[in-house]
Amino acid sequence: MTPRVFAYDTTLRDGTQGEGFALSVTEKIRVAHLLDELGIAYIEGGWPGSNPRDVAFFAAAAKERFQFARMTAFGSTRRAGISCDHDANLAALVAAEVPVVTIFGKSWRFQATDVLGISAEENLELIHDSVRWLSARVDEVIFDAEHFFDGAADDEAYAMASLEAAASAGAKFVVLCDTNGGSLPTQVGGLVERVLAKVGCPVGIHAHNDGEVAVANSLEAVRRGATMVQGTINGYGERCGNANLVSILPNLELKMGFHVVGAERISRLTHVSRMVDELSNNVPLARQAFVGQSAFAHKGGVHVHAVMKDARAYEHIEPTLVGNGRRVLMSDLSGRSNVVYKAREFGYELNPSDPATRTVLERIKQMENAGYAFEDAEASMKLLLAEAHGHRPHYFTIEEADVTTSLLADARRHDVDESHRTRAIMRVQIGDESVPMVQYGNGPVDALGRALEAVVVRAWPVVHEVRLVDYKVRIMDSGDGIGATVRVLIRASDGKQTWTTVGVSSNVIEASWRALVDLYEYKLMEEGIPGVASSTHGAVFSA
């Protein structure tokens, strides 16, 4: 039989202790359902004795139904000098009405004597009493041995005694915690084997990432016999974060031969990873293994040529196994294979031996050399390929555009409405009609964008759906000071898809303008609207 490893997620508790990561009660419930759909065995919802939000979460979670996961409450052992019957923390754990409770206790003698200020023997009593008391009141108790690896390095016999105190009192799992995150796989593996030989219950691993080896430590612990692995989605957590389940799960499931969530459910991994980022208002890490936007992105021409023959040449797994996809990027490093692959992705067939394909490639390289970057602006790339294929429609010609900004004499004043201090005047030709437009905005780019939108919406109302969601300016050569060439990336959405366009110029307004023109032309082309003009970049700019 395929060996089973239990995935224990602590995103909702340990993850929320990370800087820049926070979830409301409603968002925590949504994440819990995402984790359950992924097939996570245990979801640690929070510490009900520590704050009102976690109390509210467990009250809300009690009304929900989970198919795979067991909801888990987290807390500490009883306080010294107080019996379990009178300990408020233990009472709160039982009041959470969950089937599983995880408590942590000290396994490092130094932590017991110098931090808690109690004797080493009394610390073992706290562990044993708390686990025994909870075991009589909930289905399952898990003991997290805090600072286990540091404690074992200092006094292995005492660290082992803390585990035996929990196991003898009825703990279902004892979990070895690398709380400071400084252990290495060689240390972790050996200790896991020694614990299994000494303690009569299953073992888990809880690693932190301060040494950048939390995933490696977790995998090594499982390889040596641990059957529970704790971590968070995307590695969120205090300091440098927790072990990243997004990397651990596919490595265990797809490469090491363990059953954790199942092959069908692990295909939801990318979706879960990105939704947790979305709900916590964090930007997904493009380079994240398995699920990142760049995880299966190919840029070098040699790589793309090989991947087109057999993706195994430069991919360690099939992207769809984890719900991700392959991407081919266009840049000055591209070869003809990139152009052919990208054109096919956009619905155009190009012959790699055709001189026209080489012409497109050379133009891309020239534009990249001038500062363009198409790997993050695939809408502009699609327009360029459509033009090379003779299928790019043109919709309007900018006859003239003038942008004027009035500045305050006192730059420190903040009591003036800035939205009426910049004016854009333009004239746009659409077919045989010359359309004048005047708009005001918060600066020259905003005013220019408002003016263009007003003209285009009048001719094609479908553009009203478009919303600008991101605007980035990159200095290409800072050595040129404020006269440097800039690259502008604009991301837009119409509620159905999101796309990004690029513009480059030594004038930030003109660079923005070029990206804006591509943005609207891409929308119109995607809607299948026929073109009515032959040029888009003939504007006379003054600013």
CATH number of the domain where residue 457 is located: 3.30.160.270
452 in the same domain as 326:
no
The answer to whether residues 133 and 249 belong to one domain is: yes
**How far is it, in rounded angstroms, from Cα 348 to Cα 389?**
8
Domain presence at residue 389: no
Q: Which two tokens stand for residue 469?
A: 């969601």
Q: Which residues pair with 467 in a beta bridge?
A: 493
On the 0-12 / 13-18 / 19+ scale of CB atoms within 10 A, 70 is middle
Question: Do 314 and 262 lie in a common domain?
Answer: no
pLDDT computed for residue 534 by the predictor: 46
User: Distance of CA 425 to CAs 69, 147, 364, 453, Å?
Assistant: 60, 66, 32, 13
Strand partners, 474: 487
The Cα-based distances of 179 to 15, 206, 220 in angstroms read 14, 8, 17
- Residues 4 and 257 sit within 8 Å (Cβ to Cβ): no
CATH code: domain of residue 121? 3.20.20.70
Q: Are 245 and 301 in contact (CB under 8 A)?
A: no
In 3-state terms, what secondary structure has residue 495?
coil
Positions of E strands within 208-365: 228-231, 297-298, 327-328
The verdict on 167 and 262 lying in the same domain is yes
> Is residue 502 in some structural domain?
yes
What pLDDT shows up at residue 539?
44
Sheet of 422-430: strand order equals 433-441, 422-430, 397-405, 541-542
417 belongs to a structural domain: yes
What is the domain range of residue 441?
Answer: 397-542
Alpha-carbon separation of residue 238 from 56, 182, 218, 344 (angstroms):
23, 14, 17, 45
424 and 365 together in one domain: no
> Based on the domain organization, do 532 and 442 belong to the same domain?
yes
Q: Are residues 175 and 138 in the same domain?
A: yes
- Residues found in the chain: 543
| Alpha-carbon span 14 to 32, nearest angstrom | 14
Chain-centroid distance, C-alpha 455: 37
Rounded to 5°, the CA angle 32-36-37 comes to: 120
User: Is the residue at 367 inside a domain?
Assistant: yes
In a domain, 308, yes or no: yes
- The answer to whether the beta carbons of residues 57 and 12 sit under 8 Å apart is yes
Question: For the whole model, what pTM was predicted?
Answer: 0.71
**Is the CB of residue 436 less than 8 Å from the CB of residue 455?**
no
CA dihedral 236, 237, 238, 239 (to 10 degrees): -40
**CA distances (Å), 79 to each of 82, 108, 116, 130, in order?**
6, 17, 10, 9
CA atoms within 13 A on the CB side of 140: 15
Q: What is the pLDDT along the chain (543 residues), one digit of tens a residue?
A: 689 999 999 999 999 999 999 999 999 999 999 999 999 999 999 999 888 999 999 999 999 999 999 999 999 999 999 999 999 999 999 999 999 999 999 999 999 999 999 999 999 999 999 999 999 999 999 999 999 999 999 999 999 999 999 999 999 999 999 999 999 999 999 999 999 999 989 999 999 999 999 999 999 999 999 999 999 999 999 999 999 999 999 999 999 999 999 988 999 999 999 999 989 988 889 899 999 988 877 776 666 657 666 767 777 899 899 998 776 655 544 555 666 666 666 666 666 677 766 777 777 777 766 677 666 677 887 887 777 667 778 899 888 889 998 876 555 555 555 556 789 999 999 988 899 999 998 888 889 999 999 999 999 999 999 998 888 888 876 566 666 788 898 999 998 888 889 888 888 888 998 999 999 999 998 898 988 854 444 444 344
Tally of domains in the chain: 3
Residues contacting 413, CB < 8 A, separation 6+: none
Q: How far apart are CA 108 and CA 200, in angstroms?
A: 20
* Collapsed DSSP state (helix, strand, coil) of residue 333: coil
Element (H, E) at 160: helix 148-168
Same domain, 408 and 363: no
Q: Is residue 404 classed as helix, strand or coil in its secondary structure?
A: strand
Pair 348, 381: CB distance under 8 Å: no
Is residue 34 within 8 Å of 272, Cβ to Cβ? Answer: yes
Q: Are strands 486-493 and 498-505 parallel, antiparallel or unpaired?
A: antiparallel
- Residue 187 falls in which region: left (phi positive, over 0), alpha (psi -120 to 50) or beta: alpha
One domain for residues 268 and 314: no
Task: Collapse the DSSP code of 528 into the 3-class scheme (helix H, G, I; strand E, B; otherwise coil) and give the result.
Answer: coil
C-alpha span between 471 and 76 (Å, rounded): 47
Q: What integer pLDDT is reported at residue 294 of this predicted model?
A: 81
Last residue of a domain, one of 246, 279, 312: 279
402 plus 524 within the same structural domain: yes
Asked, for residue 380, whether it belongs to a domain, the answer is no
| Cα–Cα distance for residue pair 492/471, rounded to 1 Å | 9
**Single residue among 279, 307, 337 that ends a domain in this structure:** 279
Q: Cα-flanking dihedrals φ and ψ of residue 354, to 5°?
A: -75, 130
Answer yes or no: is 286 within a domain: no
Question: 335: Cβ–Cβ under 8 A, 6 or more apart, which residues?
Answer: 300, 301, 302, 304, 305, 361
Distance CA 4, CA 31 (A): 24
Span between the terminal Cα atoms of the chain, in Å: 72
In-domain check, residue 216: yes
For residues 331 and 271, state if they share a domain: no
CA dihedral sign of residues 40, 144, 167, 81? negative
Are 96 and 242 contained in the same domain? Answer: yes
Final residue in a domain of this structure, among 222, 244, 279: 279
The confidence score (pLDDT) of residue 19 equals 93
**Distance separating alpha carbons of residues 504 and 510, to the nearest angstrom:** 8
